[in-house]
Structure 1
C-alpha cells in the first residue's frame, strides 16, 4: 500500500526540492503540496470529514510555513488529526528543537538540506506508526478520529454591538439540541460571560496559559459547569491576567476544547489581540457582529480588511451578523454586505432590547423567554450555521430540554 505524503511548504524553492525527493521514495504517493497553515488544516479537515482512511499517513511541515509557526501548527494537527504522523523539516536539527518538536506532537524531524536516506528512513517509520494508529482506531477505541467539534468565533465590529449575547444564545441553542457545548470567553480584559450567566468562579482560561499539554483532567478542572448544561471557560476576573493568554496558549486551549465538545463558541469581544486572532484563524465559522449604523458598519469593514491583510481570515470566509435590525433603518443587510465585502447571515436579530433587559440585569440570560423574538432569531441563526441537530421548541429553555433528555435515558 503506497504511503501518502502531504508537504506543507511555503517556500517555492523548498517545494520543488521536497516534491522531487518525495517522488523518488519507494511506495510513496506524494500529495499536491499546500503552501500555508490554513490550507493544511482545511485540507486535512475536509479529508477527515469523509473518513480517517482518506487522510495522508505523513505530513511534512517546513520550518518556514506560515502564518501559524511550524511548532504551533504541528500541535494543532496532532490534536485534531491524531492518525496523521507529522515530520518537521528544519535547518536546526539540534537536541533542543528536536525535543520541542516531540513535545508539540511531531513524530520525527529531518534536517535541511534533505538527504534521500534520512528522509526515506523517517517517512517509513512514521508511516508505519500512522498505520498502526489507524488499525487501533478501527478496533473501536474511544479516540478522536476526525476534525473534532465545531468551533465558532463571535467578534464585535465595535463594543456594545451584542457579541456576548449572540455567543451565549448560540451556545444555548446548540446545547438544547443535544450537542455538548462549551463557551470560551476570550474577551480577556473585559469579558462578561460570567456576569450574563450569574457565575462565581475561581479558575479561568488564564490558568491554562502556561500548560503545554492540556489533559482532559486539567481542562475539566478549569471549566465551570453551568446549570444550563454549558461548559464555561471564562475570562480572568483580573483583566491584567489576560496578557498571559498568548496566541500559542489560545490555540492549545481551543484544540483541547474542540476535542472534548461537539460545539465550541468563543466570545472574542471587539478588541482582537493575539489570542483572539488565533481563535478566529482556526475556527470553522467566524462571525462578526454589527449593528446597522454608520460607525459599527465602518468598524466591521475595518475588521474584515484587517483580518484579510494579516491572513487571519479571508473576507469570503467571514460571516457578518446584523443585530438590532429594523425594516425602517437606512442601512440594510445587502448594503452591509457590499460595504464590508463579506457575506451577511440570512438571519437578522431584531432591535428589541427591552426583551433582554430583565434577563441581562439579573444575570440570567439563559432563562430568556422562549417567546422573545431576539432569542428566536439567535436560535434561528444557530440553525442556519448548522450548530443544532434538531429544531428546539421555542418555549423551551436549554435546561428543560437537557433534563427531559436525561430522564428519557437518551444522550
Structure 2
C-alpha cells in the first residue's frame, strides 16, 4: 500500500530535510511541503471536499509551523479530519511534549534531528491507524469526516456600530435558508446576544474553556437550542469569567463547533483579545462593521492595522460592512474601502433605526418585520458573503442602496477631507 504523506514546515531547511528522508521511505508518496498552518488546512479542506479517500494518510507537523502553534494546529486537524494520522516533529521529544501532543490528537512524535528508522516507524504506525479509521468510516459510522463548517466572525470598529445585531441577523438568515447554524457570543465581558434574542441560560462559553476533549455531548450541554433554529453559545453572565477563555481555549472551542455545524457565526465585539483574535484568524469569512463617520472609519483603520501587525488577518481578506448608510452620507463605502484597504461589500445597510427600535427594546430581534429595509439588506449581505445554503430570490434592495463602488461626489471639505488628511496617521 502506498502511504501519502503531507509535511508541514515553515522552516525551508527543515522542509528540505523532511522531504529528503520521506523520499527514501518504501511505498511512500510524499507531497510538496506546505509552509504554514493556513495552507495546510486549506489543502486538507480541498481534498476532503472531493472525498475522504483523497486525504493523505499522514501529516507531519514541524514544531515551528505558524502562524497557528503546532499543538493547536494538530488539534484542529484531528477535529476536522479525524481520518488523518498527525505526527509532531519536535526538537523536544521528552515526556511532557509527548503527552501534550497526544492530548492534542497526534498519533506520534518524532525527535529532531531526524533519524530514518524513527521516521519510518512513526509514519508507518500513523498510516496503519489512518487506514483502520477509514475502514471503520466506510462501514457507515456516524463520524464527522468533512472539511468542517464555515466560520464567520463579525467585529465592530468601535462600540455601538451594530456588531451584535449584524451577527444575529446573519445567523438567522442562514438558519432560515436551512443551514445548521451556531451563533457564538465572544464579546466575553459585555456580550448581548442573549438579550437580543430574549434568552437566559445558565451555561456559557466559559464552561468549555477548561475542557480539553469537547465531545458532542459536552458541547450539547453548553449550547442553547433556540426556537429560532439557532444553537447559541452565550457569553458568561459574569464578565470576569471571560478571562477564562484564552487563545488556546478559543481555538479548541471554534474547532469543535466547526466540526458539528455547517455555519458558525461569532460575535467578536469590539475589543481585541487573544480569544477573538484567534477566532478571526481561523475564520473563513471575517466581517468588520463600521458606520460612515470619521471617528468610526479611523477606528476601523486602526483595527485592521493591528490585525496585520499581530498576523491575525490581512486587510484585503476582511469584508467591510457599512452600517447606517444613506445616499446623503458624505463618507461613502468606496472611500472607506480605500482608507482601510479592506473589501467593502456591495450592499450597505441603510440608516433606519426606527424600524429596529421596538424589537431591540423588547429583546426580540428575530421578530423584525420582513419588510424592514435593514433586515433586507443584512439578509442580502448574508447571501453575498456565501452564508446561505443556496441562491434564492434576492431580497429587495434597501431604498437608495446602490453600488458602494460608485460613490457620490463629495466636497473636499468636512468629514471626507478630515479622513483624507488622516489616512497616514
Give the TM interval when normalised to the shorter protein. Answer: over 0.9
| Stretch of structure 1 that moved more, 46-55 or 141-150 | 46-55
Give the aligned partner of residue 233 of structure 1. Answer: 233
Q: Is the 8 A contact 1:371 1:394 kept in 2?
A: no
Partner of 1:323: 323
Whether the aligned pair in 2 keeps the contact of 1:176 and 1:392 (CA below 8 Å) is no
Query: What secondary structure, in the 3-state scheme, does the structure 2 residue paired with 1:254 have?
Result: helix
The 8 Å contact of residues 380 and 395 in structure 2, kept in 1 or not, is answered as no
* Higher RCO, 1 vs 2 (CA within 8 Å, ≥6 residues apart): 1
d(CA) in 2 for partners of 1:154 and 1:260? 20
- Give the Cα separation in 2 of the matches to 1:82 and 1:227: 32
TM-score normalised per structure 2: 0.90
For 1:38, the equivalent position in structure 2 comes to 38
Unaligned runs of 5+ in 1: 396-411
Q: Is the 8 A contact 1:177 1:392 kept in 2?
A: no
The alignment partner of 2:39 has SS state of helix
Cα distance in 2 for residues equivalent to 1:392 and 1:225: 28
Post-superposition offset of 1:35: 1.7
Q: Which residue of 2 aligns with 1:98?
A: 98
Structure 1 residue 53, shift from structure 2 partner: 2.0
Q: What 5-or-longer segments of structure 2 have no aligned partner?
A: 397-425
Query: For residues 346-392 of structure 1, what are the alpha-carbon distances to aligned partners after superposition, in whole Å with 9 as ceiling and x for unaligned?
Result: 12111111111110000001111111010111111111122212437
Question: 1:75-224 counterparts in 2 under 5 A?
Answer: 75-224=75-224
Distance change >3 Å, CA 392–CA 362, structure 1 → 2? farther
Shift of 1:394: 6.6
- Counterpart residue number, 1:278: 278
Counterpart for residue 367 of structure 2: 367
Tell me the C-alpha RMSD between the 2 structures. 1.5
Helix, strand or coil at the partner of 1:339: helix
CA deviation vs aligned residue, 1:29-80 (integer Å, no higher than 9, x gap): 2211122222211221222222222222111111121222111111001001
- 1:189-245 deviation per Cα after TM superposition (whole angstroms, max 9, x unaligned): 111101111111211000110000011111111111212111110001111100000
Partner of 2:63: 63
Quick one: distance in 2 between partners of 1:307 and 1:142? 38
What are the residue-to-residue correspondences of 1:324-343 with 2, within 5 Å?
Answer: 324-343=324-343
- Work out whether residues 380 and 394 of structure 2, in 8 Å CA contact, stay in contact via their aligned partners in 1: no
Could you tell me which residue of structure 1 aligns to residue 268 of structure 2? 268
SS at structure 2 position matched to 1:153? strand
Higher mean displacement: 305-314 or 191-200:
305-314
TM-score, normalised relative to structure 1: 0.93
Rounded Cα–Cα distance in structure 1 between residues aligned with 2:317 and 2:39: 13
